[in-house]
Structures are given as structure tokens and as C-alpha cells.
Amino acid sequence: MTAHHSGRWLRWPSGEERIGYGADYNPEQWPKEIWAEDVREMRRAGVNIVSLAIFSWARLQPRPEEWDFGWLDEIMDLLHEHGIAVDLATATASPPPWLSTIHPEILPVDHEGRTLWPGARQHWRPTSPVFRSHALRLVRALAERYGRHPALAAWHVSNELGCHNVYDYSDDAARAFRTWLRERYGSVAELNRAWATTFWSQGYGEWDEILPPRLAASYANPTQQLDFKRFSSDALKEHLRAERDLLRELTPDIPITTNFMVMGETKGMDYADWAAEVDFVANDHYLLAGPQSREELSFSANLTGSLAGGRPWFLMEHSTSAVNWQPINLAKRPGDLARDSLTHVAYGADAVCFFQWRQSAAGAEMYHSAMVPHAGTDSAVFRSVVELGATLRALAPVAGTRRRPARVAIVFDWDSWWAAELDSHPTSRLRYRQEALDWYTALLEAGVRADVVGVREAFEGYSLVVAPILHVVPQELADRLAGFVAGGGHLVTTYFSGIVDEHGHAWLGGYPGALRELLGLRIEEFGPLPDGAEVELDLGVRGSLWTDRIDLADPDVKVVAGYTTGEQVGRPAITTRLAGTGSASYVSTRLGPGGLAPVLEHLLAVSGVRPEHGLGGRVELAVRTGADADYWFLINRTDDPVELDGIDGEVLIGGPVLGPRQVTVLRRAR
């Protein structure tokens, strides 16, 4: 159902199957004398690919009509001589000062009308025709010069598109937004209907009257806000396509990617919609401080695997140790570097790369870890880097294998993420991704494997589908979910699901709107909770954030748990409607990973899903599958050793006892 990328993988110069290993390499930050040492140490570490030229525009084109490729020629040749492949960036991520000086109209504008000035990076409007033409000129120059270079393994379009410039409210953006709206709605009358502009006297007469949701006197129209988010994701996607199309024309044999940011609260880009645009999916992931940081890593890697259609993907960046952009930047503990990398491999990464090769001595990221830290190669970090290189070599048989689908899916939907967290709602505290992550964490704790999948994926192969806060439910999706349940599938959803259609209009007749019949419930009013307030359920768990006043509307609905305190005392909190051999369940409050445990126990029993190993939540399992064998990645989630009793297979890495935070990979012939 979802369109996936072409599946063309890196063009390895030697053609052999292996796991890629490397980093962003920024040789222009260093004197030339260091380059030979760099390449020698890369070889020692097992590095076989680097990303080059990501922020090199000012160096490659120091003036509008002046080009300097000499240094890049030299470094490309040097890397090739040493058997290191290159993922060559198009270098368009950060425009040089001359460009923004001559053309200040490329600079983005925030929603308060403030210009984002040069001095950092990514100061360009996704919709600026001036920026686009300069960027494409650079792309053409690079493609013509390096398209046949033997080191070239892939093109890397821009860098982290939308990291800093996803929302631009400039006049260029306003013009492009109108064009986008015209395509979507066809007429102003249709737009007026979709945006419900009868409210607050917003009826538009002409396209030119329509603006991005700039700073306003009160809450902006919610559909305007939602459409602006969709448009902004599309505008960057258009930029990706423009660079890609030119590269495809000039170098049709070279695969093309761009690095996504499936991580944490980075939510501006609908990657489920972008994935089909690249030849293979690449992702950047950084650990975020907090109690679920490793679960979040796993969740992101898992979702990235789904975006890649279960095929291998490229981990373009993560960190060897601390980053420099959180309030407090913790160093990784021994073992973390390998475990974090291997968790990505477990979920399909066939390349493991870092930001960056050599830690910068100056500049905004000088305190960000790298493969070669400030301390040099005589350091614990570099020794771990060398060790990981050897580990990845031992995992070569895994390269090219695919995900073995799980029996449980968690549905992830950008539209629902965007719409559920808009302003002017019952609560501003709701966090879409956190709820999904809580379910994922609870499944990990139960020792049950799950796939995190996009909402457009087919649900039919799964026994249990978890769709947390599925807020935007167009009729088509409601039908698909009903079909899944009618076919014997088990669905569970939560508070604030099924509420609106694709235009953000409430489904009338009672909540949960589009899912009311499927769930067999009717809710007349939401009961969000104040900060700190909790309610108790007769399952012995506590809820927070939200409750609903639930009326059962179908004789086949069973109450799984009820409220024992709070406004809804004595009323249902969790319900299940049995429908033939399938079921549709509803959880009306936020339970967190611990509180979800007994709920999951019930749902897993109903759907007949059992863990694939007996080690419970201590060990995370991910499975990749090849022509004649499965590869079991067993990841110790604890700080204690765990014996892998009763799990057999040929050891590729690790061993029968998992040390703290260690990973064992077993090859299990089929």
C-alpha cells in the first residue's frame, strides 16, 4: 500500500556485501598534512565509507564565478586509493556568505516575521527560486565533475533537510503555499469549506488573500495550521526532488539518498511520504537524555526500517559519545557505543556512520564527540571505534538481509502527530510520539517484538495493531481498520483517536468519531486531567493526562478495566469490543509503560501473541532474515549479565552470556 524507494543500494566499488562503516568527513577543516594520517587511521578502524562535502559550498564556490575543486579531487583520489568509498554530498545545505549577501531574499523568515540571518547554517527558504537555481548550479557542477569518480558510492542530497528551516513564513513561502492549496482544493470555495472559514469571519475571496499562519492575534485556523505543516514538508520534499532529478539525469547509475531525522520530537517532515523519493533510506539518530532514551533509539530505528520497506537502510549519523546541543551532554558509558550502533543494525541498518570522523578543534560543534576525539587515537573512544569496525566485519553475512515482520505493529502517523498537538485543544500536554513510545517500551518490557509502521502500511499481516492517539481518521482509514478487525485482527487505540477527518473537522455524533462503531463506544465529553492529577483503575494502575466519560454503545463491548477514583469513578476506562474472531479495544487514559503492562498482557492473550524467547524484558530481540537463515539480534537491556538459555544458533558476535549492555547475534538456519 505504501510506495517505497527503489531499493538501489550503495555502489560499492568492490561489489562485495558488507556493512558500511564510517562518518561525515570534513577534511577542509584540517591542514593537508592530517589527511594522510586520517586515511591511515580510517583503515585501522575498518572505515569503508565517508560522507564528504556536506558543508563545503563556500569552499567549492568561494565567489559566484569562482570554483575550487582541487582539494576535493585530491581527497576523493586519496580515499579511493585506500579503498574508502564516498557518499558525496551535494553541498547545498549551507549557502555561502556571498549568496545571502547578494540575495538576502533567500533567507527564511520565522512566524513573527524575523529574518533568520546567516552565521549558523541552513539559512535558506525551501521555496526560494533564487536559492534553488544556485543550489542546482552547484549540484550540476559536482555531478559533472565526480559522476564517474570510482570512489563515488552514492549521492547525499543536502543534509538533514528541514533541521532548522522547515517552517518558513516568507513571501516566497506564502506564494508557494497558495500554489499548493490551489492544487489541493482547486477553488477558493473548496478551501473555504475545508478551512471552515465561516468561523471568525475568515472567508477568503481571492487566493492572494491567503497567508501562512503568521503571528496572529489569537489561535490561527487549525486547518490552515495543519495544511501549512503538510505544505512545509512537501516544500522540502520538492527541493529534494529537484536535486535528485538533476542527479538522475546526469548520473543515472549513482543511487541517491538524503539523511532523514527519525528521532525524538523532530516532526516537521513526513518521512513516510518522503521515503519513496530516495533510492535508499538514510537516517540520523542521536540519543536524547531521559528515562526511555534507548527505547527511543530502538523505536526510531524500527520505524526507519519500516520507511525502508523492511529493506536495508543507512545510518548516516549518530554519535560515538556526547553531543553538544542538549542542556547537559552526557558521555556514553563503556559498551554503549557498540550497543547503540548494533541496535540500528538489528533493525536494518547496513551502514553505521557517525558525525564525524575527527572532532573539530573549533566551531559550533567542537564539543561534539567524533570517531577521533580531541584526545587523539590513543583514547577509549577510538579503541571502541576500532573494535566496532571489527564487529561489523563479522556481521558481513547480515548485509542485504531484511526485517522479519513481527506479529504486533504500532502505527505511526505524521498527520495525527501534527493535528493532535495543535493549539486550542482540550489539553496542551498531550504528546503523540511519547504515547507511541510508551506502548513500544511496554512491549519491550514484555519481551515481545513489534514493528513500528506508517499508517499507510497494510495491517493485515499483523495479529495486534496498536494505534495510539490516531487522531486524524479519514473515512478510508476507518474502513481499513474496520476491515482489519472484521478479518480477525485485534486493534487497540487510545484517547483522542478517531476525532477528526482529513480536514481536521470533528466527526459528529459523539467520540471517538470515525471509530465509534468499531469500538462500540460513545463519549460525549473529554475529561482531561490537570497537571499532577492521577486516577486509579481497578487493574491496579494509574492514569494521567486524560480520561473519557465512556458510554457503552454495543452489547459486545466488555469492560476490561474501570476507574475507581476521579470524575469517572465506576465507569469504564478500558474496553474491548469482540467482533467475530477480531476485537477493537480502547484505552481512555495515559498509563505509561508500567501501567500498560497488564493491559498488554490482556491484549497479547486475546490476540494469541507470545514472546519468541523466555528472557522477558531483559533482552530485546530483533530479527533479520536472509536467503536461508534468520539472524537474531539479542540486546541486553540491563546492566547485568544475562544467559541466553535455550536459544540456539551459530554465534556471529557476542556469546551465550550477554554482558551488561552487550549484543549477541545468532545465525539460525531455516
Q: Active-site residues: which are they?
A: 160, 317
- Binding of ligand GAL at residue 317 (CB under 6 A)? yes
- Say what angle helices 293-307 and 432-445 make with each other, to 10 degrees: 100
- Binding of ligand GAL at residue 87 (CB under 6 A)? no
How many residues of this chain interact with ligand GAL, rule: CB under 6 A? 10
DSSP per residue over 54-69, as a string?
A: TT-HHHH-SBTTB---
The DSSP code for 283 is E
- Binding of ligand GAL at residue 286 (CB under 6 A)? yes
Burial of 238 from C-beta contacts in 10 A (0-12 / 13-18 / 19+): middle
CB of 374 to ligand GAL, least distance (A): 16
- 345/347 Cα distance (integer angstroms): 5
The nearer residue to ligand GAL, 354 or 417, going by C-beta atoms, is 354
The nearer residue to ligand GAL, 356 or 664, going by C-beta atoms, is 356
For residue 371, CA distances in Å to 24, 200, 377 come to: 10, 56, 9
CB of 56 to ligand GAL, least distance (A): 12
CB of 54 to ligand GAL, least distance (A): 6
CB of 286 to ligand GAL, least distance (A): 5
For residue 324, CA distances in Å to 54, 262, 457, 461, 662 come to: 19, 19, 36, 42, 26
Q: All 3 cell numbers of residue 563?
A: 476507574
**Residue for grid cell 578502524:** 45
- 488/486 Cα distance (integer angstroms): 5
DSSP per residue over 434-454, as a string?
A: HHHHHHHHHHHHTT--EEEEE
Among 285, 368, 571, 577, binds ligand GAL (CB under 6 A): 368
Interface pattern 121-160 for ligand GAL (x via CB under 6 A): --------------------------------------xx
CB of 164 to ligand GAL, least distance (A): 9
Are 158 and 89 a contacting pair, CB within 8 Å?
yes
- Binding of ligand GAL at residue 365 (CB under 6 A)? yes
- Binding of ligand GAL at residue 355 (CB under 6 A)? yes
3-class secondary-structure state, position 382: helix
Are 634 and 663 a contacting pair, CB within 8 Å?
yes
Footprint on residues 156-175 left by ligand GAL (CB under 6 A)? 159-160, 163
CB of 55 to ligand GAL, least distance (A): 7
The nearer residue to ligand GAL, 355 or 633, going by C-beta atoms, is 355
- Binding of ligand GAL at residue 28 (CB under 6 A)? no
Interface pattern 466-495 for ligand GAL (x via CB under 6 A): ------------------------------
Among 307, 323, 587, 623, binds ligand GAL (CB under 6 A): 323
The nearer residue to ligand GAL, 18 or 368, going by C-beta atoms, is 368
The nearer residue to ligand GAL, 296 or 317, going by C-beta atoms, is 317
The nearer residue to ligand GAL, 368 or 425, going by C-beta atoms, is 368
Q: Chain centroid to CA 223: how far?
A: 24
Helices (H) and strands (E) in the chain, counts: 17, 27
- Binding of ligand GAL at residue 590 (CB under 6 A)? no
- Binding of ligand GAL at residue 359 (CB under 6 A)? no
CB of 320 to ligand GAL, least distance (A): 11
3-class secondary-structure state, position 414: helix
Q: All 3 cell numbers of residue 173?
A: 513561502
Which residues make beta-bridge pairs with 630? Answer: 625, 668
The CA R_g of the chain, rounded to the nearest whole Å, is: 26
The nearer residue to ligand GAL, 342 or 353, going by C-beta atoms, is 353
- 177/137 Cα distance (integer angstroms): 25
Residues forming contacts to ligand GAL in the complex (CB under 6 A) are: 159-160, 163, 284, 286, 317, 323, 355, 365, 368
